[in-house]
Amino acid sequence: MEMTGNTVENLLAGLDPQTLWDYFSELSKIPRGSKNEAAAADWVAEQGRGLGCQVERDAVGNVLIRKPASPGREGRPVTCLQAHVDMVCEKNESTIHDFTKDPIQLVREGDQLRANGTTLGADNGVGVCAALAVLASREIQHGPLEVLVTIDEETGLTGANGIAPGWLKAKYLLNLDSEEEGFLTIGCAGGVDTIITRKLSLEAPRTGMRAYRLKVFGLKGGHSGIDINAGRANAIRLLAQVLLNLQGGFDVQMASIKGGNKRNAIPREASAYLFMDPAEEGPFKAELARHEAHWKTACGAFDPGLAFALEPSQEDRVMSPLDATALLQLLLALPHGVEAMSPDIPGLVQTSTNLGVIDVANGTVEVNLLTRSSIDASKAALTDRIAAICGLAGFESRLSGGYPGWKPEPGASIVKLINEVNQEVFGKPLDIVAIHAGLECGLIGEKYPGMEMVSFGPDMWDVHTPDEHVSLPSVANFWKLLVAALERI
C-alpha cells in the first residue's frame, strides 16, 4: 500500500493517462467540499488560462473554458465537456482530517485508488481532470470545445441552476459524472429536499443522572441515488429504533441526536446524547449488546460492520419527555429507501427517499430528507405524505432545492455516435440506461432545449463514503472512449 506525502508523484507515476492523474494529484491538495470549492474553481480557471484558452466565470462561480478546434475542424459542432468541482466530505469517526484545509491523502492499492479514511473526490474530480487533460492535449483532433466546470453540485446543484441561457454554444454535452464503465446514461431522476424542524423544550437533567453517548457506527452508507436499493441500513433509523425499545426498560432522558452528514448520503453513523442513572449503565450495555446482535443478524451481509457503543459524554440540558418521544416516533414513521421501482425499465428505482441528516442546535431539531423520482407526480405525492407525517407528529416541514429530472432521448444522434465509438474501440456496445441518481443534465437541458446530452465515466464504488475508490484501468478506458468520441464528433 502506498500513500501520499512526499511520494505522491511516485504514487501516480506511469498511470494512463498521465496528464489526467497529474491534474488529479494537484486537485486533491485543494479543499473542495460543497460550498467550499471556490479555491478549486479558481485553480481550474488558472489551468485554462495557462493553456491559452478563453476562460469565463459566471455570477455563481462556474467556470467555462473555450478551446478552438483543431486545424481543419473549425466547422464541426461545438462539444461541451461538463463536470463538477465540489466533492462530498465524509470521513470515518477515527480519522483526523479537516476538509476545510487538509489535502486528501491518496492511497493506491494495486489497480485501485482510494483515500486514507475519507472520501476520495473521484466523484467528480476524475471528470474535471479528464476535461483539463483534453484541453492540455495537442494530439487529440477535435472540433470547437467548451469545458463547463460547475460548483456545488452535491448539496443542491447550485452551479447548474445558476447557468444563464445563451452562455453555452454547444450542440452536444458530454457529462463526465457517471460511475460505471460500459454504461451510457441518457436520463436521471429529479429530486427535492424536505427540511423538518421543531423548537424543543429544554430542561436540566434530574439530579444524579450522568451523561452518555449512544452511537451506531460501522455501516457502509453509500450514495442515496445509486445505493438506495442495496439493502444497506440507515444509522439514524436504527438509532431511533433501539432508543425507543430501550426507553421502555430504562429511565433515560435524551439531550440530542446527531446523525448523517449529507442529505444525498445514506447515514453511516448516528449518536444520541442522553442521561441515565449510572447504576443502570451495566444492564443498559448488556441490553444494548443484545440489540446489536439482533440487528447484525437482520442486516447480514448488507452491513456486517454494524456496531453499537455507549461511552461517557458531557451535556447540560435534556429534551422534555414529550419532545423526545415525538422525535423518535417521527424518525421511525418517516419513509426511507425505495418507494417504487420503474414499471418500464427493469431494475431502475423510480421513487425513493433518503433520511439523510439529523442535528440539534440552539434548541431546535432539524431533519433533512432527499426525495427522488423520475415521475414528478410520484415525487410530489411522497413529499406530501412526508409533510402529513410531520404535521401529525407536531413538526414543521418545508421543501427546498428542487431540481428537474432528465428525460431520456434514446434516439438522439449523440447516443448513437457514442455507442458506435465504443463498439469500434472496445468491440461491444454500451448499455443505454437511465439512473435514479441526480445529474446536472436535467437543469442544463431545461435551459438549453435541443442540446443533446449523454453521461459516462469509469468504474468507481462506494462514492459519498470513506470507502470511495476508483479503478485505474477503468479510467484509462474512460479516457480512450472520450478521446475517440471527440475525434468523431
Looking at the structure, do residues 344 and 464 belong to the same domain, yes or no? Answer: no
Looking at the structure, do residues 153 and 284 belong to the same domain, yes or no? Answer: no
Give the range of the structural domain holding residue 281, as residue numbers without chain letter: 192-403
Residue 227 CA: distances (Å) to CA of 120, 168, 295, 332, 371:
17, 33, 20, 21, 14
Task: Output the domain CATH number for residue 409.
Answer: 3.40.630.10
Catalytic choice (152, 153, 154, 339): 153
| pLDDT for the residue numbered 35 | 96
**Does residue 153 carry a catalytic annotation?**
yes
- Greatest distance between any 2 Cα atoms in the chain: 83
Q: Specify which residues 184 forms β-bridges with.
A: 432
Cα–Cα distance measured from residue 373 to residue 177, given in angstroms and rounded to the nearest whole number: 19
Looking at the structure, do residues 179 and 151 belong to the same domain, yes or no? Answer: yes
Cα–Cα distance measured from residue 13 to residue 8, given in angstroms and rounded to the nearest whole number: 8
Looking at the structure, do residues 264 and 387 belong to the same domain, yes or no? Answer: yes
Q: Which segments within 224-361 are labelled E, that is strand?
A: 252-259, 265-266, 270-276, 307-312, 318-319, 337-341, 349-361
Instruction: Return the closest-CA partner of residue 205 out of 239, 248, 240, 251.
Output: 251
Instruction: Return the closest-CA partner of residue 349 out of 357, 361, 362, 337.
Output: 337
Looking at the structure, do residues 260 and 390 belong to the same domain, yes or no? Answer: yes
Residues with pLDDT less than 70, the chain: 1-9
Cα four-point dihedral sign 302, 120, 350, 335: positive
Give the position of cell 461491444. 428
The total domain count for the chain is 2
Cα–Cα distance measured from residue 465 to residue 337, given in angstroms and rounded to the nearest whole number: 17
Looking at the structure, do residues 219 and 126 belong to the same domain, yes or no? Answer: no
Domain end marker among 351, 371, 403:
403
Q: At a CB cut-off of 8 Å and minimum separation 6, what does 42 contact?
A: none
Looking at the structure, do residues 302 and 438 belong to the same domain, yes or no? Answer: no
Cα four-point dihedral sign 162, 167, 171, 177: negative
Task: Output the domain CATH number for residue 358.
Answer: 3.30.70.360
Cα–Cα distance measured from residue 33 to residue 54, given in angstroms and rounded to the nearest whole number: 26
CB 380 within 8 A of CB 312: no
Burial letters 151-179, b for 16+ CB under 10 A, else e? bbbbbbbbbbbbbeeeebebbbbbbbbbb
Looking at the structure, do residues 110 and 182 belong to the same domain, yes or no? Answer: yes
**Does residue 487 carry a catalytic annotation?**
no
CB 386 within 8 A of CB 335: yes
Catalytic choice (37, 86, 152, 459): 86
Looking at the structure, do residues 395 and 447 belong to the same domain, yes or no? Answer: no
Cα–Cα distance measured from residue 331 to residue 163, given in angstroms and rounded to the nearest whole number: 36
Instruction: Return the closest-CA partner of residue 272 out of 397, 358, 390.
Output: 358
CA 67 to chain centre: 30
Residue 443 CA: distances (Å) to CA of 146, 447, 461:
18, 7, 25
Residue 199 CA: distances (Å) to CA of 171, 360, 459:
50, 10, 44
Domain end marker among 360, 385, 403:
403
| pLDDT for the residue numbered 97 | 97
| pLDDT for the residue numbered 156 | 81
Domain end marker among 364, 387, 403:
403
Q: CA torsion, points 277, 280, 284, 286, in degrees to nearest 10?
A: 160
Which three cell numbers, joined as nine digits, stand for 404? 428537474
Cα–Cα distance measured from residue 219 to residue 404, given in angstroms and rounded to the nearest whole number: 31
Looking at the structure, do residues 303 and 338 belong to the same domain, yes or no? Answer: yes
Looking at the structure, do residues 289 and 435 belong to the same domain, yes or no? Answer: no
Instruction: Return the closest-CA partner of residue 353 out of 331, 375, 386, 376.
Output: 386
326 three-class SS: helix
Looking at the structure, do residues 398 and 423 belong to the same domain, yes or no? Answer: no
Q: Specify which residues 340 forms β-bridges with.
A: 351
Instruction: Return the closest-CA partner of residue 254 out of 331, 317, 332, 330.
Output: 317
